[in-house]
């Protein structure tokens, strides 16, 4: 990286931190239990809206992994989400009715919470429809993983976002809140991923999966970005750029090495396509808060309201972390 580019990235990070500071008044604490956060606590940060169906399993999954406290921003839910979260003893809740899109899709709000509470903690930043897994996660929790990362001198951990879907039309698959969503969304695309180095941020930029195949076959360059850096030993000087796809300073998103297999990485099981996807897509078409490119993503959300079937003969049934390692979709690296 040349000196001029490094200088520009430093100033971008400073501008993002200033923006986060300016946006801090858009969120208000509803239930603040952050006094319970211990010095070694692992924290989870998320922005949610109308996620009452997903939250019971989301919290169960991350509690089992070893998250000690959840810091969640509720963006105007009207389905009982905020009330449900307020009842959870390990959750602090902030509320806002401000624009999700104008807050960089919630990252300004979470950036302020990370700034206030995340410094020196291992922090996991995810969406309500993302479930982090990694090699041997059933037997070794996040405390084991982060202790190992600290020992290796790594301050971050990467994950591929893996879109899961059912066999048959999306809205015909039954789901009961609290159940493991991978039992409903039991399939994924296994072999259509590609990556390149991002021209500006220098991170590995990964695309592919079912959304690439179904929605962006004619415009693959516009397919969703699948690389994320969700787990970071946080510093108040850090800032996410675009969701958790990019982070500054850029050394933190140097987390993938699929060819050399020297770096451990995980997967974010993406449970977006549960049966309520049609209703949520119709709402997003009306609200227009989840996309910048209106023409492109309006077609995407419109198609999701039509109860599509993503399954095809090349679909692969999800079988756990060892399967994803064998397929090269995540790596054990030196994590043994």
Per-residue pLDDT of 231-258, as tens digits, reads 999 999 999 998 999 999 999 999 998 6
Classify residue 272: in a domain, yes or no.
yes
The number of distinct structural domains making up the chain is 1
Domain that holds residue 29: 3-326
| CB of 38 closer than 8 Å to CB of 59 | no
Classify residue 245: in a domain, yes or no.
yes
Per-residue pLDDT of 5-59, as tens digits, reads 999 999 999 999 999 999 999 999 999 999 999 999 999 999 999 999 999 999 9
- 14: nearest Cα among 246, 241, 252, 244: 241
Q: What are phi and psi of 142, to 5 degrees?
A: -65, -30
Kindly state the tokens that stand for 125.
Answer: 């930043």
Q: Say what the pLDDT of residue 291 is.
A: 55
243, burial (CB in 10 Å: exposed 0-12, middle 13-18, buried 19+): buried
Classify residue 336: in a domain, yes or no.
no
- Could you tell me which residues come within 8 angstroms of residue 253 by beta carbon, excluding any fewer than 6 positions away? 156, 158, 201, 203, 204, 227, 229, 246, 247
Q: Rounded to whole angstroms, how far apart are CA atoms 92 and 87?
A: 10
Cα 97 to Cα 108, 198, 240: the distances in Å are 14, 34, 22
Q: Report the 3 state secondary structure along 73-108.
A: EEECCCCCHHHHHHCCCCEEEEEECCCCHHHCCCHH
Q: Report the 3 state secondary structure along the chain.
A: CCHHHHHHHHHHHHHHHHHHHHHHHHCEEEECCHHHCCCCCCEEEEEECCCCCCHHHHHHHHHHHCCCEEEEEEECCCCCHHHHHHCCCCEEEEEECCCCHHHCCCHHHHHHHHHHHHCCCEEEECCCCEEEECCCCCCCCHHHHHHHHHHHCCCEEEEEEEECECCCEHHHCCCCCCCCHHHCCCEECCCCCEEEECCCCCCEEEECHHHHHHHCCCCHHHCCCCEEEEEEECCCCCEEEECCCEEECHHHHCCCCCCCCCCCCEEEEECCCCCCHHHHHHHHHHHCCCCCCHHHHHHHHHHHCCCCECCCCCCEECCCHHHHHHCCCCCCCCCC
Q: Rounded to whole angstroms, how far apart are CA atoms 130 and 113?
A: 19
Q: Say what the pLDDT of residue 228 is.
A: 98
Classify residue 331: in a domain, yes or no.
no
Q: Rounded to whole angstroms, how far apart are CA atoms 52 and 44?
A: 17
Q: Rounded to whole angstroms, how far apart are CA atoms 140 and 148?
A: 11
Q: Say what the pLDDT of residue 295 is.
A: 59
Tens place of pLDDT per residue across the chain (336 aa): 689 999 999 999 999 999 999 999 999 999 999 999 999 999 999 999 999 999 999 999 999 999 999 999 999 999 999 999 999 999 999 999 999 999 999 999 999 999 999 999 999 999 999 999 999 999 999 999 999 999 999 999 999 999 999 999 999 999 999 999 999 999 999 999 999 999 999 999 999 999 999 999 888 988 999 999 999 999 999 999 989 999 999 999 999 986 666 799 999 999 999 998 877 777 777 766 555 555 556 777 788 888 999 999 999 999 999 999 999 999 999 887
Classify residue 171: in a domain, yes or no.
yes
Q: Rounded to whole angstroms, how far apart are CA atoms 314 and 335?
A: 31
Q: Say what the pLDDT of residue 257 is.
A: 80
Q: Rounded to whole angstroms, how far apart are CA atoms 11 and 6?
A: 9
Q: Say what the pLDDT of residue 146 is.
A: 98
Classify residue 333: in a domain, yes or no.
no
Q: Say what the pLDDT of residue 296 is.
A: 58
Classify residue 332: in a domain, yes or no.
no
Cα 191 to Cα 58, 301, 328: the distances in Å are 27, 25, 9
Beta bridge partners of 43: 69, 123
Classify residue 334: in a domain, yes or no.
no
Q: Rounded to whole angstroms, how far apart are CA atoms 255 and 154?
A: 9
């Amino acid at each position: 990286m040349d000196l001029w580019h490094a200088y520009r990235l430093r100033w971008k990070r400073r501008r993002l931190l200033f923006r986060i500071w300016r946006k801090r008044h858009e969120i208000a604490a509803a239930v603040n239990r952050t006094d319970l956060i211990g010095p070694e606590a692992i924290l989870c940060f998320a922005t949610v809206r109308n996620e009452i169906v997903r939250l019971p399993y989301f919290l169960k999954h991350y509690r089992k992994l070893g998250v000690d406290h959840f810091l969640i921003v509720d963006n105007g839910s009207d389905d009982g989400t905020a009330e449900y979260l307020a009842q959870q003893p390990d959750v602090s809740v902030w509320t806002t009715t401000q624009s999700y899109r104008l807050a960089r899709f919630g990252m300004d709000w979470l950036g302020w919470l990370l700034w206030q509470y995340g410094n020196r903690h291992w922090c996991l930043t995810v969406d309500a429809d993302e479930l982090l897994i990694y090699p041997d996660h059933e037997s070794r929790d996040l405390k084991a993983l982060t202790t190992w990362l600290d020992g290796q001198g790594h301050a971050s951990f990467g994950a591929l976002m893996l879109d899961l879907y059912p066999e048959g039309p999306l809205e015909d698959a039954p789901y009961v809140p609290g159940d493991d969503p991978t039992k409903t969304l039991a399939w994924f695309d296994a072999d259509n991923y590609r990556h390149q180095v991002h021209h500006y941020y220098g991170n590995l930029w990964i695309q592919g999966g079912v959304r690439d195949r179904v929605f962006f076959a004619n415009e693959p360059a516009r397919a969703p970005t699948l690389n994320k850096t969700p787990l970071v030993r946080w510093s108040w000087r850090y800032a996410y750029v675009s969701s958790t796809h990019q982070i500054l300073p850029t050394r933190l998103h140097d987390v993938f090495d699929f060819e050399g297999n020297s770096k451990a990485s995980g997967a974010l099981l993406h449970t977006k396509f549960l049966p309520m996807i049609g209703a949520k897509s119709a709402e997003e078409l009306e609200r227009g808060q989840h996309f910048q490119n209106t023409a492109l993503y309006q077609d995407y959300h419109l198609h999701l309201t039509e109860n599509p079937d993503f399954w095809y003969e090349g679909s692969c049934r999800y079988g756990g972390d060892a399967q994803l390692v064998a397929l090269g979709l995540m790596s054990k690296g030196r994590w043994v």
